[in-house]
Amino acid sequence: MRDAEPKTIYLKDYKPFGYLVDSVDLTFDLSPHATRVTSRIAFRPNPEAEDREFFLHGEKLKLISARIDGNEITPEVTPEGLTAEAPDAPFVWEAVVEIDPAGNTALEGLYMSNGMYCTQCEAEGFRKITYYPDRPDVMSVFTVRINGTLPVLLSNGNPKGKGDGWAEWHDPWPKPAYLFALVAGDLVATSDSFETVSGKEVALNLWVRPGDEHKTAFGMEALKKSMKWDEDTYGREYDLKVFNIVAVDDFNMGAMENKGLNIFNSSCVLASPDTSTDMNFERIEAIIAHEYFHNWTGNRITCRDWFQLCLKEGLTVYRDSQFTSDMRSAPVKRIHDVIDLRARQFPEDNGPLSHPVRPESFQEINNFYTATVYEKGAEVIGMLKRLVGDAAYAEALDLYFARHDGEACTIEDWLKVFEDVTGRDLSQFKRWYAQSGTPRLKVTEDWADGSYTLHFEQTTLPTPGQPEKLPQVLPIAVGLIGPNGDEVLETKVLEMTEAQQSFRFDGLAAKPVPSILRGFSAPVILERETSSAERAFLLAHDTDPFNRWEAGRSLARDSLLKMATEDAAPDADYLDGLVQLLRDDTLDPAYRALMLGLPGQSELAGALAEAGQTPDPDALWQAAERLRAAQAVALGDLMMPLYDSCRIDGAYAPDAEQSGKRALGAALLRLITRQDDGAVAAAQYAAADNMTLQLSALACLLQAGKGHAELAAFYDQWKSDRLVIDKWFMLQISEAAPEQVAATATALTEHPDFNWKNPNRFRALFGALAGHHAGFHAAGGGAYRLLADWLIRLDPVNPQTTARMCSAFQTWKRYDSDRQTLIGAELERIAATPDLSRDTAEMIGRIRG
Ligand code: ARG
Ligand code: ZN
């Protein structure tokens, strides 16, 4: 059965469900193609609701029997659910349904992965398990019995009992159905325990397939650190006797915060020095923290409806970024986050998929698990904290937890705790949740008689469905630096509320150089006419580490744009400043590695489009090649000694210090390889005793058109490790020359290991294809065609992953008419595919505009 006619759901239509659920009892009789789910649910009329219609969601279920208060009934069943006559008094609903986990390739609901049963219910997967009011504002206590022959049978909450072929679980905390989870498999645990602040013992288990046990230690440590951090920083204690984490190979997203039973994409939890890079380790630590933190921000306090998704996701991303800043380097984390925001959120916010942090309508909610909801949602919380201050933020959070524990909330509830704590009116601030698009912040200045004035003007361009924009509250962190390089004004947060606003600083001895938007204090596009000399000055003197990096970044950006469009030479101020910084041994190697980075090709294309020009992917590629070559020349004799100084004696550790050194070493190796034909890279590859060094060496070799022997050896060494083979797929595409990209990707789709139904493998290949800007947009459109072919093929199998990958086309209107015609034809071809999923149809419809 295919999805029914797409319906649009609106925030303004929210109505509570007519019944409350007092308890849910589920029994699973597991069988790959015919699992029986027996439910016994106690309903009672909801006094807050007017409408008493008894509709239960249910999709792809075979209804065997249904009873109300013991009497067999025949409900009216549609592809979306069922309706029955229900009493206007408490009653018990009982149903038996049959489902097909082994046939569930969409990986939503109950499905199978390598012989293991596993669930993913957020957002609307529970309705594929049994009939239920599958909405987050319906919360209940669940008791689960699993009957099955597999050795490990898990569900939410605390274990209640187990025997041969069965296990029972009880979760005392009322929860919405999207937090339900069940796992059954032949799994092994790494176990540990944690004593909470009030002295309660929690059993911790990280479950994996036999053979993966050596990849669990890091995840377990990250979990314990997260538990401790949330007690210390937010006063949040864990609330069950056990905390289980399960790794699964087939998973659409990163991980899921099911109550007491987090389920992770194995790529986001399994780690070992041999098989994982430093970046993998850092990401795994952050995701473990993220899912754990959801126990309070998401589970104890959940969302009233899916429009409020940012209530839990924005806040939890914000919390996990605070955690990473505390565990590692705060400036480095901030820079990583801004790079990521510009790479993923800005294109979304400024293109056809633009939507508010709190959307007002959707067809398929899975399409709104976006960088806007998550990452811009986190930025909004950062701004709120900046505006009210740390103390008020802490007080507001305490009030939030105290007031709303056990509830399903809205953004209004969230803002109200800040209003109550601070006495502020946050109605204008709320526009951050309602208005889509990235504000442009234009800055000019005046200087006279010791007075320095900054004039700001904010504008936000129209976005789909929002032609008019109102001014937003912008916390603008500013510092002023005197001509000798000393700071004359320490960081001060200016609060801009008008479309145009000026701020004056008096009593200055000389005209200062402003450092604006320190720490990236608001997610805006800053526009300021300034000289490269002034940027170079900030690169040398800014005391704010973010803005110091930003000065170098903007120099590099402008230089690349001029090189691409005017055939200019590389900017000398940039190169001089870079050399000075790299020489400075007092600077963190991780920070210096970031300084060597260049803005991404897509970001540059976006900047050109922003300025009304048509980006030429080939010219941008050439510009970056030339600037890299110029970096290598400018650094010259500095490179080898610096590279050598990044070598680590002693055991590998994925900590910030070692990772920083390896990151700097890798950035230098890229440049060295341009000059030595890969000699140093080949040596690094041969000597590498961890994946970070091995992979960075291989990347350099491939980029130089070498490394064929190493590539083959790498495959041989790792062919039985699926996560490493994902890297093998990815790397060959991302390091290919632009004109080779489509052919390389095509050849890889024919490789026997291209298991396209596995989302990690599909994303490894096509994510790399879409991420190689010049290769994806290479003349002729071969890459566009290849991607479209495979999206069409994957859609009936896994709509969610297909729909996410469609965003590769979201920037298509930036490019020249030839490319637009080619992409337009592919979009049309996808749209015309019979029986396209609701997920993909919505995405393609929005992208086409
Ligand atoms: N709540 C999960 C997280 O952010 C993400 C689950 C998304 N799942 C989905 N099917 N859209 O931690
Ligand atoms: Zn989350």
Ligand 1 contact, 291 CB (< 6 A): yes
Mutate to test the pocket of ligand 1, among 175, 226, 253 (most ligand atoms within 8 A of CB): 253
> How many C-beta atoms lie closer than 10 Å to residue 326's C-beta?
13
What is the predicted pLDDT for the residue at 6? 81
At residue 574's C-alpha, the angle toward residues 572 and 576, to 5°, is 70
The mean pLDDT value for 550-560 works out to 98
Confidence of residue 5 (pLDDT cuts 50, 70, 90): low
Report the C-alpha gap between 742 and 753 in whole angstroms. Answer: 18
Q: What is the pLDDT of residues 30-42, one digit of tens each?
A: 999 999 999 999 9
Ligand 2 centroid, distance to 315 Cα (angstroms)? 9
Q: What is the pLDDT of residues 448-502, one digit of tens each?
A: 999 999 999 999 999 999 999 999 999 999 999 999 999 999 999 999 999 999 9
| Buried-state track 556-580, b at ≥16 Cβ within 10 A, e below 16 | bbbbbbebbbeeeebbebbbebbee
Ligand 1 contact, 365 CB (< 6 A): no
Report the C-alpha gap between 758 and 466 in whole angstroms. Answer: 38
Minimum-distance ligand 1 atom for the alpha carbon of 294: 12
Residue 611 has pLDDT above 80, yes or no: yes
Residue 533 has pLDDT above 90, yes or no: yes
Ligand 2 centroid, distance to 120 Cα (angstroms)? 13
CA dihedral 54→57→59→64, nearest 10 degrees, is: -40
Above pLDDT 90, what percent of the chain? 99
Report the C-alpha gap between 492 and 475 in whole angstroms. Answer: 10
| DSSP states along 18-60 | SEEEEEEEEEEE--SS-EEEEEEEEEEE-TT-S---EEEE--S
* Token pair recorded at residue 349: 């916010």
Mutate to test the pocket of ligand 1, among 107, 122, 843 (most ligand atoms within 8 A of CB): 122
Ligand 1 contact, 255 CB (< 6 A): yes
Phi-psi region of 465 (alpha: psi -120 to 50; beta: other; left: phi over 0): left
What is the predicted pLDDT for the residue at 715? 99
Host H or E run for residue 684: helix 679-687
Mutate to test the pocket of ligand 1, among 119, 256, 293, 309 (most ligand atoms within 8 A of CB): 256
Instruction: Say what the pTM is.
Output: 0.98
Ligand 1 centroid, distance to 371 Cα (angstroms)? 12
Ligand 1 contact, 180 CB (< 6 A): no
Decide if 844 contacts 830 (C-beta within 8 A).
yes
Report the C-alpha gap between 294 and 288 in whole angstroms. Answer: 10
Cis peptide before 84 (omega within 30 of 0): no
Q: What is the pLDDT of residues 775-813, one digit of tens each?
A: 999 999 999 999 999 999 999 999 999 999 999 999 999
Ligand 1 contact, 458 CB (< 6 A): no
Above pLDDT 70, what percent of the chain? 99
Amino acid at 548: R
Residue 568 has pLDDT above 80, yes or no: yes
Ligand 2 centroid, distance to 630 Cα (angstroms)? 42
Q: What is the pLDDT of residues 93-149, one digit of tens each?
A: 999 999 999 999 999 999 999 999 999 999 999 999 999 999 999 999 999 999 999
* Token pair recorded at residue 236: 């949040």
Q: What is the pLDDT of residues 698-739, one digit of tens each?
A: 999 999 999 999 999 999 999 999 999 999 999 999 999 999
Ligand 1 contact, 123 CB (< 6 A): yes
Q: Are strands 302-303 and 408-409 parallel, antiparallel or unpaired?
A: parallel
Q: Which ligand is nearest to the CA of 258?
A: 1
Q: Which ligand is nearest to the CA of 123?
A: 1
Host H or E run for residue 302: strand 302-303
What is the predicted pLDDT for the residue at 3? 45
Using DSSP's 3-state secondary structure scheme, residue 6 falls into coil
The mean pLDDT value for 49-53 works out to 94
Confidence of residue 2 (pLDDT cuts 50, 70, 90): very low
Q: What is the pLDDT of residues 813-831, one digit of tens each?
A: 999 999 999 999 999 999 9
Ligand 2 centroid, distance to 256 Cα (angstroms)? 7
Ligand 2 centroid, distance to 291 Cα (angstroms)? 6
Which one-letter DSSP state was computed for residue 646? T
At residue 58's C-alpha, the angle toward residues 56 and 63, to 5°, is 100
Question: Residues with catalytic annotation?
Answer: 291
Q: Which ligand is nearest to the CA of 378?
A: 2
* C-alpha 252: how far from chain center: 13
Ligand 1 contact, 106 CB (< 6 A): no
Ligand 1 contact, 252 CB (< 6 A): yes
Q: What is the pLDDT of residues 268-308, one digit of tens each?
A: 999 999 999 999 999 999 999 999 999 999 999 999 999 99
The mean pLDDT value for 601-611 works out to 97
| Among the listed residues 136, 158, 148, the one whose alpha carbon sits nearest the alpha carbon of residue 27 | 148
